[in-house]
Amino acid sequence: MEASMGRPPIDRRPNEMLAHWLTRADMSNVEFARKVTARAVASGERNINPDESRVRRWLAGETPRAPVPALITDIISERLGLPLTCADLGLPGPRRPASVDSPDLPWQSGSTIDAIAHLTRSEIMLPHTRHSAEAAHVHRAERLLSPLQQWVTSKPSPLAERPTDHALSGRVGMRQVEDIRAITAMFRDADNRHGGALSRTAVIAQMSDANAMLDSCSYTEVTGRALFSAVADLGSVAGWMSFDAGMHKSAQRLFITALHAAAEGGDRAVGAHILQCMARQMSHLDHYEDALDLVALAQYGARRQISPATSSMLASLEARFHAILGNLDESERAAGQAEEIFDRINPAEEPVHMAFFDAAELSATVGVAHQIAANKSQGTHRTRRAEKSLSLMGHALSLRPEHRVRSKAFDHLGLARTHLAIGEVDGAQEETDTALELFGAISSKRVADRLIELHDEAEPFVSNSAIADMRSRIEHAVSGSAA
C-alpha cells in the first residue's frame, strides 16, 4: 500500500546517507526494493511492497513509515557486515554517527560532524594506554583502502549560509578559524618538543570544541569550508599524537574523521597530509604495501593542489617504503625525484602544515631509505648505500632546530643502525648513547619501538662487550618508559 511506505517531509532534501550506504552495499534500486519486500513478508508485513520508483523517492528525501526504516537498516547492515542504525542511514531514529570503528563513513558534512563529536567525546575518556595490542585492531588492506579511495572523487556537501537564530550558539568568522590554526601550530610544536603522549588529551578536547562550532554556530559557506579545513588539520595533529603514544586504533580513527573534514573543506592539500600520516603509521606497523598504497592515493587525489613540498615529501616516503619491500631501484628513483622536486620549493607559498618538511627532514627520510637499502644489499652496493645514508643523516642533524628533539633522536638511531649495517660497532654505540639521552627527555612510543629494532639488529654483535652493554641500556630505557 502506497500510504504505508512513505510520507512527504516538510523540507525534503536528498538522503545522501542512504545513497552512500546503498552504493557501498552495491545494490540497484530494483534489487533493493525486492529485498525490502522479501524482508517485510518474512516479518509478517504483507502490505509493504515498494518498487524501484519508491526507492528513488526515498533517496530523494521521502521518509518511509515504520517499520520500513528498520527493514532497510537490517538489509544494508547484513549486506555490509556493519552495525548500522536507522539514523546512520538518514532515517528516523536517534542521532548517532555510523560506526567510527570503521573507515567506511559517508562523505557528507553532517555525518562528519557527528563522527568527530562522537569520537572526541569517547577519546577524552580513554585511559592513556600504550598496550601494543592496539596495533592488532587497526584496519588495513582492502578494508581500509577501499573506503578511502572515495576521497579522490568526493566533493564537499552543499553548505548554504546558516541563519543566525536562537537555535544556534553564535556566529563564526575567519578570526575564529585563524585562532584554531594558531592553536594547531602550538600543539604541533609541543609534539615536536615533548612527544605526543603529554598533549594528546588536550588536543582532542580542542578538536571537540572546534567541531562544536561546525555543529551549533552560524557561518558563511566560505567560513564553513575554512572551518572544516582547520578542524581537519587539528585532527591530523590529534591522530599523530595518538600514533606517537602507541594508540594505533585511536590514531587511525582520528585520521579518518580528519580526512572527511578535509574533504568537506575542499582542502586536498590537508587531505594528502593526513594520508601521509596514515602511511607512516602503516609502515610503523609493518603494513608496507598499505603504506605505499596510501602514498599513491595522496599523490593522485591531490594532484591538482599538490605543492612542491608535499610532492617531495611523498616521493621521499615512497623511496623508504620501496626500500623496505626490496624494490631498491624504485627506491633510488623515488629518492632522486624527491631531491629534484625539493629544489622547487618556495617556503612562502607552502601550506603551514608542511613547515616540518625542510632540508633536514628530506635528508633524514631519504637517508633512512638508503640505510634500509644498505641492509638489503651486499658488497660495494651495501657500502655505497651506507655511505650515502651516513652523509644524509649527518646533514639532517646539522640542520635540525633544537626543539625538534624527537626528530633528532630518530636521526641518531638511523645513524646507529647504518653503522651496524657495515659493522662499525663504535659508531653504533656512540649514536645510540645520544639517542638514549634524547629519549629520556621525551615521551614517544615510536622512538621506543625504533630502539627495540636497533636492539634486535645488534644481536649478531653481542659478543662485543660494548654492544652487549648498549643492548642492556636499551632494555632498561624502554622498560622504564613503559612503567
pTM given for the model: 0.73
The rounded mean pLDDT for the chain is 85
Check residue 45 and give its pLDDT.
82
Distance of alpha carbon 479 from alpha carbon 483, whole angstroms: 6
- The one-digit pLDDT tens for each residue of the chain (483 residues) are 333 444 444 446 788 778 878 887 888 999 999 999 988 888 888 888 899 899 999 998 888 888 898 889 889 888 876 667 787 787 876 555 555 566 777 777 777 787 777 666 655 443 333 345 666 677 777 787 888 888 888 888 877 555 554 455 678 899 999 999 999 999 999 888 888 777 888 899 899 889 889 888 888 999 999 999 999 999 999 999 999 888 888 899 999 999 999 999 999 999 999 999 999 999 998 899 999 999 999 999 988 889 999 999 999 999 999 999 999 999 999 999 999 999 999 999 999 999 999 999 999 999 999 999 998 888 888 899 999 999 999 999 999 999 899 999 999 999 999 999 888 999 999 999 999 999 999 888 889 888 988 998 898 888 899 899 999 999 888 887 665
| CATH class, 2-88 region | mainly alpha
Q: Give which of 398, 371, 396, 380 is closest to 453, Cα–Cα.
A: 371
Distance from C-alpha of 219 to C-alpha of 168, rounded to nearest angstrom: 10
Question: Could you report the per-residue pLDDT of 53-71, keeping only the tens digit for each?
Answer: 999 999 988 888 888 988 8
The rounded distance, in Å, linking the Cα atoms of 56 and 54 is 5
Cα(462)–Cα(460) distance, integer angstroms = 6
Q: Where in the chain is the domain with CATH 1.10.260?
A: 2-88
pLDDT of residue 4: 42
What is the structure's pLDDT at 146?
A: 81
CB 314 within 8 A of CB 299: yes
What digits encode the pLDDT tens for the residues 88-114?
787 876 555 555 566 777 777 777 787
User: Facing residues of 218 across strands?
Assistant: 171
The residues, any chain, with a CB within 8 Å of residue 272's CB and separated by 6 or more, are: 298, 299, 301, 302, 305, 306, 310, 314
As a whole number of angstroms, the distance between CA 358 and CA 136 comes to 33
DSSP 337-404: HHHHHHTT--GGGS-GGGTT-SHHHHHHHHHHHHHHHHHT--HHHHHHHHHHHHHHHHHHHHH--TT-
- DSSP-derived letter for residue 265 is T
